[in-house]
Structure 1
Amino acid sequence: MKLSAVLDRWNNQSLARQFLLAGGLVSLAAMLLVGAFVTSLIEAAVTRNSAASTALYVDSIIAPLLPDMKTSNTLDDATTRALDETFNQGALGGKIISFRLWRADGTVLYSTDKDMVGKRFGPSEDLQQAFSGQMVAHFGPIEDQESETERALQRPLLEIYNPILQPWSGEVVAVTEFYEVADGFQQSLYQAQLRSWLAVAGVTLAFFLLLSAIVFRGSRMIDNQRAALKQRVAELSELLAQNKALHARAQRASQRATALNESYLRRLGADLHDGPAQLVAYAALRVDSETLTDPQTPASRREEEIISIKARLDEAMDEIRSICSGLVLPQIETAELPDVLRRAVNAHRQRTGTEVTLTMAEAPLAISPSAKICIYRFVQEALNNSFRHGGGIGQAVRQTIRGGNVVIEVSDAGSGFDPDAIRPGGLGLAGLRERIESLGGTFNITTSSTGTTVQMSLNVQDMEQAS
């Protein structure tokens, strides 16, 4: 496995798991190092203390039996017999299994093993250290070349080198080497080492558990914050996408609004040209006709012509008022939604003389003026289309609240129509769709041979904020 793959796999782990793996290994290594160091110190201290007490005891028994080792390089028979009795039958018989008396040049002056007496060995490091005035003690495997007999016993032994000092000068004149049976010492040492290992393991485990609890708490907090951040980023990304969609919709609505305004102006111009303008032009022509300009025209004929001209002008004025009434909205900025719906329905009733059923549910109090205008125009245009294409049969307006949206439905019981036949650039339903979607709403048409339902929906909260 490549190093990069291993690093990626490691980085994908949680902080808590990383700490458990890395911290566990570090804690285990630290525990082993500290435990080994502490047990070595305990072993050295216990060995030194036990050896010191044994050496003091042995020295108190052996020292009175020895001659002046400064002036004597050998032991006489009486001293040798006294030492033999001491180690064979005396107080040290069961405690010390081997004893040697060394001279500074490495010669064995006395030994419980008679074959060793008089032999000379190269001074070992321990023997040299003892002749320098320090007591030396070891517990463990015996490595000295002169200690083959002791190695063959296969028993735990405490090896001790103890210097013999000249009382009045303090000079080291000889060194005693002896081996103590260490069955009890070994058990005590093992118990002390076990307690030290348990103490080190307990402290390390407690420290690791405490750190683990802190790390787990921090890791859980980080994970929660990371999850919350991911959710927030997802929400922001969704909002950004919605904003982009709304921005695109607003741009399309702006473009459509410009086109619709141009279409409205062309329609208004066409209505004025084809209606009032033609009537006024007709009246103007009649004013310049011979009937009025010829003095020979009878008065009755002149009066008929004037009445005809006035009728055409009155007709032109009526059409102008009709066009103006369609352009100018009633005062709905301060009206509530129910009043807006009633005004649109009543205006249609008065204009067409048809019956319209109005049903309203509870409506929001705060609605923006643009939303009120949109709703009024929607009802107005939908009723006009229903009257024009459906004969005004079974016309109904219904206002409800669904899922936080204000829903307006205009329906009839006519024969229906083909929604695909609606011109994209038309001023009717296509214009309403653009107007509604520019406010963030929805527009739907459902039609069949038994009737048509036109529906719009606007969000209540958006309308309240806009107001």
Structure 2
Amino acid sequence: MERWNQQTLARQFLFAGGIVSIVAMLLVGAFVTNLIEDAVTRNSAATTALYVDSIIAPILPDLKTTDTLDDVTNRVLDETFGQGALGKQVVSFRLWRADGTVLYATDKTIQGKRFPPGKDLTAAFSGKMVAQFDYVDDAESFDQRSFGKPLLEIYNPILQPWSGEVIAVTEFYEIADDFQQSLSQARLQSWLAVAGVTTTFFLLLSAIVFKGSRMIEAQQRSLTERVVDLQSLLTQNRTLHSRAQRASQRATALNEGYLRRLGADLHDGPAQLVAYAALRVDSALLVDPEAPRDVREAEITAIKARLQEAMDEIRSICSGLVLPQIETAAVPEILEKVVGAHRERTAATVDLKIASPARPLLPSAKICIYRFVQEALNNGYRHAAGANQTVTQTYEGNMIIVEVSDDGPGFDKSTMRPEGLGIAGLRERIESLGGTFDLATSSRGTTVRMSLNVHESEHV
């Protein structure tokens, strides 16, 4: 059953419909052939019976009142069936009485004898003409069986003219070679007609079913492709949903971390300098009127220097928090700005290599690139003293690639803290845009690499 269900609709119809069509053709063919045989046999028998009756009727006496035939009638009948056209056509003739007595027969051995009436004889006495084309098997038909071939057997009722009552039945056998040939021809034509109609009908249905089957298969393939596409989209949505959840969870931690780092930067830098200045303001040298003027001026100068240093650090922190106007800037301008800001802040040397021509990106992708380069340069400056730092931007197909490398001593990845702000923040930011983040480090230096799809970044 499973193998059957795996077959196409067209193959199922071809197999099942073929069997049904063959069975239907056999049944209809047999039925139509039998009807044609009966019709041809009746028509031929009726013609022969009419011919025989036209010759015999004038010879016979009134059988209603006569139980036997006289010698003259017997002699005339013998001459009629012994010679002439009727004798050549009819090989045997009998005249039956209603009680089963043979009043006359060309076979004199059964004339005058009585036989049990058969169903054909009984039907003839009821007023019906009976005809059949077959081998003779009646008990009284020994001579007819000796011919060894089918005969046209006819039972024809003889009616009384004025009353219409059946007074006798004539039974005769005709050698019908032409009839057999005509009947065989009719059978062949009927079978060919039935086979032609059945085949045409089956082919028309097959064409319709095959067309429908191809349409269904095409729709199934289309639906399968859509299901595969939907499953792929569902998988992508689940991945993006999971990534969004992780990004949301990390966002809170990163924001808290940024606040802690900002607090630490303010505490360790400007706050210490301001506190130092505040302590020096309360110095005895400033409030002692007898202190030398040059000493007091030196103290005031030191306080101003610390306050100016604190202001410089506050400006530096603010410049790191506030991005320049990059919405309308191209990628080369963004890279030049972030590298320039790093050079100005650290006085370090940074090589910049930019691919051209530039491709358009959304502001979110531009901000991601800016922060990536900014954080990577800061990390390289703190941990590798900015040794031969290089920023390289290239394109690989639809991907924009940005690398920040140095020649520092590298570090052990196993010592990295998962909650570290820099690397974790960069990775989350890049992956949230569908990009990739890689970090490679060894004793010969460190390379941080990011990639984003240009097309996706144009429509995200």
Any residues of structure 2 matched to 1:431-450 within 5 Å, and which? 431-450=425-444
Partner of 2:375 in structure 1? 381
CA offsets, 1:14-53, max 9 Å, x none? Answer: 2112112211111111111110110001000100111011
CA offsets, 1:137-168, max 9 Å, x none? Answer: 01124343322332232211011011112233
Residue 273 of structure 1 and its aligned partner are, at CA, apart by 0.7
From 56, 59, 68, the equivalent of 1:74 is 68
The CA RMSD over aligned residues, in Å, is 1.9
Using the alignment, how far apart are the partners of 2:246 and 2:60 within structure 1? 121
Distance change in 2, residues 1:286/1:392 (3 Å): closer
Any residues of structure 2 matched to 1:68-107 within 5 Å, and which? 68-107=62-101
Any residues of structure 2 matched to 1:300-311 within 5 Å, and which? 300-311=294-305
Using the alignment, how far apart are the partners of 1:178 and 1:207 within structure 2? 45
CA offsets, 1:308-351, max 9 Å, x none? Answer: 11111111111111111111111112222232222222222323
Partner of 1:146 in structure 2? 140
Partner of 2:187 in structure 1? 193
For the pair 1:16 / 2:34, whether they are aligned, the reply is no
Partner of 1:122 in structure 2? 116
For the pair 1:359 / 2:354, whether they are aligned, the reply is yes
Partner of 1:278 in structure 2? 272
Asked if the contact 2:159–2:168 (Cα under 8 Å) also holds between the matched residues in 1, the reply is yes
Using the alignment, how far apart are the partners of 1:50 and 1:275 within structure 2? 131
For the pair 1:213 / 2:191, whether they are aligned, the reply is no
CA offsets, 1:109-140, max 9 Å, x none? Answer: 00111111111122222222222222110112
Partner of 2:331 in structure 1? 337
Residue 262 of structure 1 and its aligned partner are, at CA, apart by 1.1
Helix, strand or coil: the match of 1:158?
strand
From 430, 450, 453, the equivalent of 2:447 is 453
Residue 66 of structure 1 and its aligned partner are, at CA, apart by 1.3
Partner of 1:3 in structure 2? none
Amino acid at match of 1:77: D
Distance change in 2, residues 1:388/1:271 (3 Å): closer
Helix, strand or coil: the match of 1:114?
coil
Asked if the contact 2:350–2:391 (Cα under 8 Å) also holds between the matched residues in 1, the reply is no
Using the alignment, how far apart are the partners of 1:323 and 1:191 within structure 2? 112
Any residues of structure 2 matched to 1:28-47 within 5 Å, and which? 28-47=22-41
Residue 233 of structure 1 and its aligned partner are, at CA, apart by 1.3
Using the alignment, how far apart are the partners of 2:21 and 2:109 within structure 1? 54
Residue 206 of structure 1 and its aligned partner are, at CA, apart by 1.4
Residue 415 of structure 1 and its aligned partner are, at CA, apart by 4.3
Using the alignment, how far apart are the partners of 1:59 and 1:407 within structure 2? 115
Helix, strand or coil: the match of 2:233?
helix
Residue 370 of structure 1 and its aligned partner are, at CA, apart by 1.7
From 265, 287, 290, the equivalent of 2:284 is 290
Amino acid at match of 1:140: D
Using the alignment, how far apart are the partners of 2:417 and 2:218 within structure 1? 54
Partner of 2:158 in structure 1? 164
Query: Gaps (5+ residues) in structure 1?
Result: 1-6
Residue 57 of structure 1 and its aligned partner are, at CA, apart by 1.3
Helix, strand or coil: the match of 2:449?
strand
Residue 411 of structure 1 and its aligned partner are, at CA, apart by 2.9
Partner of 1:243 in structure 2? 237
Using the alignment, how far apart are the partners of 1:400 and 1:317 within structure 2? 38
Normalising by structure 2, we get a TM-score of 0.95
Normalising by structure 1, we get a TM-score of 0.93
More moved, 106-115 vs 333-342: 333-342
Helix, strand or coil: the match of 1:93?
helix
Using the alignment, how far apart are the partners of 1:57 and 1:437 within structure 2? 109
